[in-house]
Amino acid sequence: MRRSVVLLICSLSGLASATTLAQEGHPLTGTWSGDWGSGPSKRTHVTMVMAWDGKTVTGTINPGPDAVAVQSITLDVTTWTIRFEADGKDSAGMPVHIAAEGRVEDIASAHRTISGTWRQGTTKADFKLTRD
Amino acid sequence: MRRNALLGLTATILLGWTALAAQRAASAVYDSERQIRLEGVVTRVDWVNPRAFFFVDVRGGDVVANWAVEFGNPIELERNRWKRSTLRIGDIVIVDATPARDVTRQVLARSVVHKATGKRLFELPAARPRASLKLPPPRWPDGQIRLGPPAGQKGYWGAASVKGLVESKAASVRMNDEGLLMDLSEVDRVAPFQPWAKAVYLHRQRTRLKDDPIARCMPPGGPRQFMRPNGFQFIEQRELGRILVLMGGGNRNWRVIYTDGRPQGQAAEVVLSFFGNSVGRWDKDVLVVDSIGYNERFWFTNGGLPHTEALHLVERFSRPNLDILRYEVTVDDPRTYTRPWTGGWTVQWVPGEEIEEYFCEENAESTFIR
């Protein structure tokens, strides 16, 4: 019992440390998670991974079996505005175009955020992603 | 112009302190545009590294408020014969100080006067350049330069000649002791930034370096380890084919430079770290060190120059005489800078002394909410 408690505390401590690691490089690099939707009760989870190779930012939405490669990602560093577009599939498996525009907030934080508008097909929604 | 004046004022106020204030940007914590005077009774003295504090009860009418007064680094103060017992609980002092930017009752002392005697306490002498005898650099029996002390002696590398890394061909870029630019319009002379990197650097500058990872006790990876206030030393383990770099500040970090002839690793396979993977070789009297494998969790120089995992450094260490270490570094990070660039500085030898105990974490408790 005591051993289990100690292990639990260690695990939680490790988790806390792991989730507070800062990243001081390109502000978009890393794994971001959050959701998009047209209202508080209608949200869809999103995981987005981005990387900077020195010339372009590449990205993947929901890596895994249903991954969507992001076609273009641009970052305007004068306003920290990000725009990205991708072609994915909707819940019925039909092709759908995604276009999002948001602002990177609190760029110095390990848990900086991107929030803005998300268009998926004809649906206009908002989104918010937080860097893991 | 106003920014210049303010930064100049800050630099003046903090003269003698910035070498001590150490692990966080004083510019971010204290508001040099304001000055206040406190008179009160000393209630506690925290004589701890890296920043010593004392506390005073200040009376205003019927209300007594306790203030925290930051007044220097104990190592430096003791070198100048100040002691913990210089100030005693119950003493009445008059403090002229720079207040914290937020609403906390915390100040950085500019002067402390013992009211009963009128004596100024904790003053440090103005730094004077030490006369150099231009003695030749010490060497090992086989003739190779020693980076440490001459055989049988003590010493370490102390103050750097600059406070921030800039490209060598920039004539001069004015910055304070924390790497804060006096004039932001000089940013393009610092380094050949990619647009995002320039924007990040300017953000860090405009926010007065408040998010500096070193304030959270992150290690000073890259060139920064050779410009920290409390110095460093090389431990040359020739029989093991390596050189250890011990840092006097921060978390008592060390870095390993392998000199056993091993090849540099592949960037994609190196475990990313704060000090990277370093291999060195001697080119006549110059130690050339090639490093890759840096993580992105630190600022590699004062002032907040950004980098990515693609950072590749080539450092050159030479010792033209006993007292001087010449340091040059070529920064190659194509994800952050438009081309490789080079900067450098010199570091002064401190003979006969050893790096003192100094831990970043020691007085973390002295971050007050009062």
The DSSP 8-state label assigned to residue B355 in this structure reads: P
A77 to chain B, any CB pair closer than 8 A? The answer is yes
B53 within 8 A of B71, measured Cβ to Cβ:
yes
Chain B positions in Cβ-Cβ contact with residue A27 (cut-off 8 Å): 196, 200
The interface predicted TM-score of the complex, written ipTM, equals 0.83
Portion of chain B with pLDDT greater than 90, in percent: 65
- A25:B306 CB<8 A: yes
* Secondary structure class of B232 (helix, strand, coil): strand
| Cβ pairs bridging A and B (under 8 Å) | 53
Instruction: Tell which of B193, B196, B339 to mutate to test the A interface (max A CBs under 10 Å).
Output: B196
Over residues A16-63, the pLDDT tens digits come to 444 446 789 999 999 999 999 999 999 999 999 999 999 999 999 999
- pLDDT of A3 reads 54
- pLDDT of B143 reads 97
Distance CA B190, CA A48 (A): 34
Could you give the domains of chain A? 24-131 (2.40.128)
Beta-strand relationship, B254-258 and B277-283 = parallel
- A26:B308 CB<8 A: yes
Could you give the domains of chain B? 2-127 (2.40.50.140), 155-351 (no CATH)
Distance from the A67 Cα atom to the nearest Cα atom in chain B, whole angstroms: 24
Over residues A61-99, the pLDDT tens digits come to 999 998 999 999 999 999 999 999 999 988 788 999 999
Chain A positions in Cβ-Cβ contact with residue B308 (cut-off 8 Å): 25-26, 29, 52
Instruction: Tell which of B202, B211, B272, B312 to mutate to test the A interface (max A CBs under 10 Å).
Output: B211
Distance CA A70, CA B14 (A): 49
* Secondary structure class of A87 (helix, strand, coil): strand
Distance from the B224 Cα atom to the nearest Cα atom in chain A, whole angstroms: 15
Residue in A24, A80, A107 closest to B297 by CB:
A24
Chain A positions in Cβ-Cβ contact with residue B218 (cut-off 8 Å): 22
- pLDDT of B363 reads 55
Mean pLDDT over each residue of chain A, to the nearest integer: 87
Q: What is the pLDDT along chain B (370 residues), one digit of tens a residue?
A: 444 444 443 333 333 343 334 456 778 888 888 999 999 999 999 888 778 899 999 998 889 999 999 988 887 888 788 888 999 999 999 999 999 988 789 999 999 999 999 999 988 776 655 666 689 999 999 999 999 999 999 999 998 999 899 998 776 899 988 899 999 999 999 999 999 999 999 999 999 998 999 888 889 999 999 998 889 999 999 999 999 999 987 777 899 999 999 999 877 778 899 999 999 999 999 999 999 999 999 999 999 999 999 999 999 999 999 999 999 999 999 999 999 999 999 999 999 988 877 777 665 544 443 4
Residue of B nearest to A21 (CA): B297
